[in-house]
Amino acid sequence: MKRAARFKTGSVVFDKRSKTWHFIWWENGKRRSKRIGSLSEFRTKASAWKAALSFVTATEKHSGCAPKPITVGDLVNLYRAERMPRRSSTRRGYEVWLTHCILPKWGEMPISAVQARVVELWLRDLTLAPKSKAHTRGMLSILWDYAMWRNDVPMQRNPMELVCIKDVSKRVRKTRSLSVGEFHSLLDAVDSDLPLRTLLLLAVSFGLRISEALGLKWKDVDWLNKTVRIERGVVKQIVDEVKTSHSSRAMVIADDLLEQLKLWRHESQFPTAEDWIFASPAKLGWQPLSYTYVWESLGAAGERAGLGHISSHTFRHTHRTWLDSVGTPIGVQQKLMRHADIRTTMNVYGDAITDDMRSAHEKVVQLAMQRV
């Protein structure tokens, strides 16, 4: 049998030969076993664990042992199996806070010991940026909610709501936006690299995240209606959903930028509808260019242009700044930035129509394409 996670007084194991789940415990020095059910009845370990709870309660009552409170480590394992988000980049972020921050400190403690004051004092001493501390607090809040949902602790106000983090909205590094001149200097530095040049033009013209630019396929471009659809992102060569439902939408595309895309498609080795727009020749087109390649190329181009470090998110900030500079209404900006909440763009509400979006987009493209 294959060993699974240990409960308070026993374990759940899976018998590969009979394809059944069993609850195993020790009683008076002897090993006992009780069948939970078949694999067809319980498709996951988490569902088998739930079914085993009645055995756990009966065993603890029979042995005279008081139930032990669930530890943070146990709760994390259950959360991973049952409620961890599907989006790979979100899971990876959650695992960072769990593995490097939460489990080393709280893994052996019961979740009831994770209270507001002790957490706030602990976070103060961590050598992390305020935003990273907020992410850690948020992960603890998720675990508390999960524990209440499982009935491991009584329903109550989440203690993490009381944890204060100083300067959480203050950035450690100031966000950077490029001026029109700086962006053109960067384009000059990558002039011989047509795919990277096209990628930068798309990123600054639409405010794309680099993962979204790398996730574009030729079929996403509607040449007749002059639109491009943002439908997916690629992070560490894993194809995933875009960040939010608002990030996925069709965007109008200006004629000048459309011509640049046509030029690149004519030169590309991979021009069919199902091909990546920025397909990797090293991977024979099966994957897009890697983020590492883009990151390293940007770093080298920034140095050649005398601009220093250029992050991949610089173009999204630049797009927002240029929208302001051409007098774009805030409601239009929200839609062009594909923000779910206008407060993410600015704390003002507005509305937009398609003609306004096209006009604003074309003005930004004109700035980007002045010297192309």
Whether residue 283 is found in the same domain as residue 361: yes
Whether residue 206 is found in the same domain as residue 244: yes
Whether residue 245 is found in the same domain as residue 269: yes
Beta bridge partners of 34: 23
* Contact (Cβ atoms closer than 8 angstroms) between residue 254 and residue 205: yes
Whether residue 206 is found in the same domain as residue 84: no
The domain boundary residue, chosen from 63, 84, 100: 63
Please compute Rg for the chain using Cα positions.
26
pLDDT of 103 above 60: yes
Whether residue 145 is found in the same domain as residue 204: no
Asked, for residue 246, whether it belongs to a domain, the answer is: yes
Pairing mode, strands 238-240 and 221-222:
unpaired
Q: How many structural domains does the chain have? A: 3
**Which residue bears the tokens 């140095």?**
303
Mean pLDDT over 105-115 rounds to 93
CB contact set of 371 (below 8 Å; sequence gap of 6+): 184, 187, 188
Paired tokens of 27: 């009683």
Asked, for residue 171, whether it belongs to a domain, the answer is: no
Most confident of 38-52, 194-208, 335-349: 194-208
The domain boundary residue, chosen from 108, 131, 162: 162
Mean pLDDT (the chain, rounded): 81
Mean pLDDT over 285-305 rounds to 88
For the chain, give the percent of residues with pLDDT over 90: 25
pLDDT of 117 above 60: yes
329 vs 297 pLDDT, higher one: 297
Whether residue 196 is found in the same domain as residue 268: yes
Q: What is the pLDDT of residues 123-181, one digit of tens each?
A: 999 988 888 899 999 999 999 999 999 888 889 999 999 999 887 666 556 667 888 88
* Contact (Cβ atoms closer than 8 angstroms) between residue 294 and residue 214: yes
pLDDT of 2 above 50: no
CB contact set of 191 (below 8 Å; sequence gap of 6+): 197
Mean pLDDT over 228-241 rounds to 80
CATH value at residue 356: 1.10.443.10
102 vs 331 pLDDT, higher one: 102
Pairing mode, strands 227-230 and 233-235:
unpaired
pLDDT of 219 above 80: yes
* Contact (Cβ atoms closer than 8 angstroms) between residue 256 and residue 369: yes
CA 192 – CA 162 distance, rounded (Å): 54
CA 296 – CA 312 distance, rounded (Å): 10
Residue 63's pLDDT band (cuts 50, 70, 90): low
Whether residue 330 is found in the same domain as residue 232: yes
Most confident of 188-202, 226-240, 242-256: 188-202
Mean pLDDT over 238-249 rounds to 65
The single-letter DSSP state of residue 247 is G
pLDDT of 58 above 60: no
Beta bridge partners of 13: 3, 22
Segments forming the whole domain that contains residue 120 = 72-162
Asked, for residue 241, whether it belongs to a domain, the answer is: yes
* Contact (Cβ atoms closer than 8 angstroms) between residue 312 and residue 294: yes
Asked, for residue 170, whether it belongs to a domain, the answer is: no
**Which residue bears the tokens 């181009």?**
301
Most confident of 41-45, 276-280, 291-295, 317-321: 276-280
The domain boundary residue, chosen from 162, 192, 207: 162
Q: Any alpha helices (H) in 129-288, and if so which ranges?
A: 130-149, 180-189, 194-206, 210-214, 255-267
CA 74 – CA 111 distance, rounded (Å): 10
Asked, for residue 172, whether it belongs to a domain, the answer is: no
Whether residue 191 is found in the same domain as residue 332: yes
Whether residue 238 is found in the same domain as residue 149: no
Paired tokens of 252: 């109008």
Put simply, whether the predicted model's pTM sits higher than 0.75 gets the answer: no
Asked, for residue 175, whether it belongs to a domain, the answer is: no
Residue 113's pLDDT band (cuts 50, 70, 90): very high
Cβ neighbours of 97 (radius 10 Å): 20
Whether residue 285 is found in the same domain as residue 204: yes
113 vs 242 pLDDT, higher one: 113
Residue 56's pLDDT band (cuts 50, 70, 90): low
Residue 366's pLDDT band (cuts 50, 70, 90): confident
Measuring CA to CA, which residue among 188, 254, 85 is closest to residue 262?
254
Asked, for residue 173, whether it belongs to a domain, the answer is: no
pLDDT of 57 above 80: no
Give the pLDDT score at 3: 44
Pairing mode, strands 221-222 and 30-38:
unpaired
Whether residue 332 is found in the same domain as residue 204: yes
Asked, for residue 174, whether it belongs to a domain, the answer is: no
Residue 5's pLDDT band (cuts 50, 70, 90): very low
Whether residue 187 is found in the same domain as residue 324: yes
CA 288 – CA 342 distance, rounded (Å): 32
For the chain, give the percent of residues with pLDDT over 70: 81
* Contact (Cβ atoms closer than 8 angstroms) between residue 16 and residue 38: no
Mean pLDDT over 209-216 rounds to 86
